[in-house]
Structure 1
Amino acid sequence: MSEMQDTHSQPPPTPADGSLEKAKRRQILDGAREVFLARGFDGASMGEIAKTAGVSKGTLYVYFDSKEALFEALTTEEKRGLAEVLFKLDADDPDVRGVLTRLGHSYLVHMGRPEHISSVRMVIGAAEKFPRIGQIFYEAGPCRGIERLGAYLDRQVQAGRLTISDTPVAAQQFLDLCKSGVMHRLLFAVGDRPTEEEIHKTVESAIRVFFAAYGPNAAPR
C-alpha cells in the first residue's frame, strides 16, 4: 500500500507558481532518484525521500500524494527526456547506416550505465505488485524510442533506401539486435559494462543483420 501522510502534521502551504514550484519539484525528484536507486522501490520511504531532498514530509505530499505517484513522475520525466535525446533522428539524413550506427552506439552506452541497470531491476521488482509502474516505464522509454525510430524508418522506406512493411517491428528488432546479450548479462550482474570494442562489434553486427533483412534490395517483408 502507498505510504500515507501523517494526519497529525499541519497541512503544508500550496506550492507557489512558476520557477519556485519547478525548482522545488526538481529538488524532490532528485532526492527521490537517489533514494530509489539506493533502496529500490519497496525499500524507499517517503520520509527518507523527504530527508534526502531537503524538504519536509508535508511539503513532499503537496507535490506527490504517494510513493507510486512520485515514482511514476520520475520515470515518465526521465525516460521521455532520454528518448528525445537518444532518438533525435534527422529524417532527411540519407546516410541510414551512419544514423543507425550512431544510434546503436549511444543506445548501448546508455543501456550499460549502472544507474540504468539499477532502474530496470527496480521496475521489474516492483511491477508484479504495481503493474502500472511497469507500464509507465515501458511507455515512457521503450515505446517512445520505437515510435521515433519507426518514424525515421518510414521516411527511409518512402525514399527507397529501405524495404520494410512494418517499421515499428523493424525498429524493435534493430534495438533488440543492438542490446542482444549485453542487457541480460548486466541485469544478472555477469561481467563488466561493454567496452568500446564490444559496442562497436555489436552495433556492426546489428547493422549487417538489419540491412540483410531490410536493405533497399531486400525482398519485401
Structure 2
Amino acid sequence: MSEALERAKVGAAPAPAEQDVEAKKRLDIIDGARRVFFRKGFDGASMDEIARAAAVSKATIYVYFQSKADLFGALVQADRRKSAERLFEFDETDSDVASLLHRIGVTFLTMMIRPDHIRLVRMVIGVAEKFPAVGETFFEAGPCHGGRRLADLLRRQTELGRLDVDDCEAAAFEFLNLCNGKLVKGLMFGLSGQPTPEAIEALVGRAVRVFLAAYGPKDAAL
C-alpha cells in the first residue's frame, strides 16, 4: 500500500518534504480528469479511465477526492481561477481607461470563446442540478472571482477620477456582459462558428464605448 494511502488510513499529515510531491500528484489527477471529461463528458467519464489518464490507481484518486463530482469540482475551480488570474494581468494605474478596458475585454472574450471553455460550461450546466456544489464552485471561482477583480480596478479608477462608478461590482458585471454580446451564447448553443479577431475587437470596442458613456467622468466629453 502506498504511503499516501497509509496516511489516509491513520489520519497522518504528509511530511514537509513530501508536500510538493503530493501537490503534483493532485495536479496530475486533475490533468488526467480534464482530458477524460472533455473527451467523454461528465456522465461518460469513469474513474477507471481517469486513473489510466493520470497514471495512478483508482484507490489513489480517492485519497485526494471523495467522488467524481468532487474531482470535477476541483478541476472547475483550478481552471476558472487560472483564467481569472490571466484575465487581470494589467497595470491598474494605467491612465488610459478606454485602452485598459479594451485589453481586458479582448482577453476576456477570447478566453470565453475557447472551445474547451465552451465544453466546460456545457458540462457544468449539465451537472449543476444534480450536483449544485459544482455549479456554485464554477460561479464563485469564475464569474464572481473575475467580477470582483474587475470591480477593484473600477474602484481604483473611480478614486483617481477617471471613472464615475457608484456600484463597482454591478458595473464590472455589466461590462463583462457587454463584452459577451451574443457571440458566447451562439457558441454555447452551436449556432455559430468561431468569431474572427476583427469581430472580437469590434464587439469589445462597442462595449467600451457604452460603458464609458455610462460611467465616464460626468464632466468629460465622450
**What TM-score results when the alignment is normalised by the length of structure 1?**
0.90
Q: What does the per-residue CA deviation read over 1:45-92, in whole Å, with 9 as the maximum and x for residues that have no partner?
A: 211111111111111111112111111111111211211110233221
- Pairwise CA distance, 1:13: 4.0
Contact 2:81 2:141 in 1 (8 A): yes
Matches of 2:29 and 2:57, distance apart in 1:
10
What does 1:5-154 align with in structure 2 at a 5 Å threshold? 12-14=5-7, 17-154=18-155
- Pairwise CA distance, 1:218: 6.8
Which residue does the alignment assign to 1:174? 175
CA distance change for structure 1 residues 154 and 70 in 2, over 3 Å: closer, same or farther? same
Contact 2:164 2:217 in 1 (8 A): yes
Matches of 2:40 and 2:127, distance apart in 1:
12
Q: What RMSD, in angstroms, separates the aligned Cα atoms of the two structures?
A: 1.7
What does 1:160-171 align with in structure 2 at a 5 Å threshold? 160-171=161-172
List gaps (5 residues or longer) in structure 2.
9-13
**What TM-score results when the alignment is normalised by the length of structure 2?**
0.89
Amino acid at match of 2:166: S
CA distance change for structure 1 residues 129 and 203 in 2, over 3 Å: closer, same or farther? same
Matches of 1:169 and 1:68, distance apart in 2:
31
Q: What does the per-residue CA deviation read over 1:162-215, in whole Å, with 9 as the maximum and x for residues that have no partner?
A: 111111111001000001101100001112111111001001100110011111
Matches of 1:67 and 1:218, distance apart in 2:
55
Amino acid at match of 2:129: E
Which residue does the alignment assign to 2:192? 191
Contact 1:68 1:133 in 2 (8 A): yes
Deviates more, 1:68-77 or 1:149-158: 68-77
List gaps (5 residues or longer) in structure 1.
1-10
User: Quick check: which one's helix share is greater?
Assistant: 2
Q: What does the per-residue CA deviation read over 1:25-59, in whole Å, with 9 as the maximum and x for residues that have no partner?
A: 12111100011111222221211111111111111
Amino acid at match of 2:203: T
Which residue does the alignment assign to 2:202? 201
Contact 2:83 2:111 in 1 (8 A): no
Contact 2:84 2:146 in 1 (8 A): yes
Matches of 2:82 and 2:6, distance apart in 1:
30
SS at match of 2:182: helix
Runs of 4+ in 1 over 2 A off after TM superposition: 11-19, 88-91
Amino acid at match of 1:173: E
